[in-house]
Amino acid sequence: MEPVFRRFDSFDFEADDRFQEGLKTLNLQETDEAKHLDMKLFFYNRFVEPIDRSGYKQWSIDQRHRRTSPGSHSDIREKQQTGEHTPTDTDKPTDTDTEVVQLSFAEVMRLVQEGKEVPGTTTLEVKATNQSPTPSQMDRKLKPWELSPISN
């Protein structure tokens, strides 16, 4: 998702006429940044490409934290050059490390036939209730030949 978030950050909302017209109709206060961000996310999701709102917000917080943390990239490079190693957020697996690769149909079929788990799917724990089925509350629809009698 990180590439989508980066594209969202670089999207020029100021130059997009549809977005600007929508903002005018909402009469949004300039100081309400949270609502402004929600409007941008809604617009981007609707007209550009799908984006996970909560995921973006978390990613954005993480990005701000990385920029302001003492272990900035320049500090890390300096320590790598001197041979020091300090565990940082960059040592943890990122979204790009765990990003799901899109598989072809043949690859998915092979995984299913081998009984292996398909990456990116969730396994549901569905259990039988062993209860008798509930009788239908609706009347059965008539078949076409039952609707009108054949007249000769």
| Model pLDDT for residues 84-141, shown as the tens digit of each residue | 444 444 444 444 445 546 788 998 999 999 998 888 888 888 888 888 988 889 999 9
- Amino acid 139: pLDDT: 92
Q: How confident is the model at residue 149 (pLDDT cuts 50, 70, 90)?
A: low
39 CB-near residues (< 8 Å, 6+ apart): 19, 22, 23, 26, 28
CA distance 2 to 131: 46
Tokens of 70: 């003492």
Whether residue 40 is predicted with pLDDT greater than 70 in this model: the reply is yes
Alpha carbons within 13 angstroms on the beta-carbon side of residue 22 total: 17
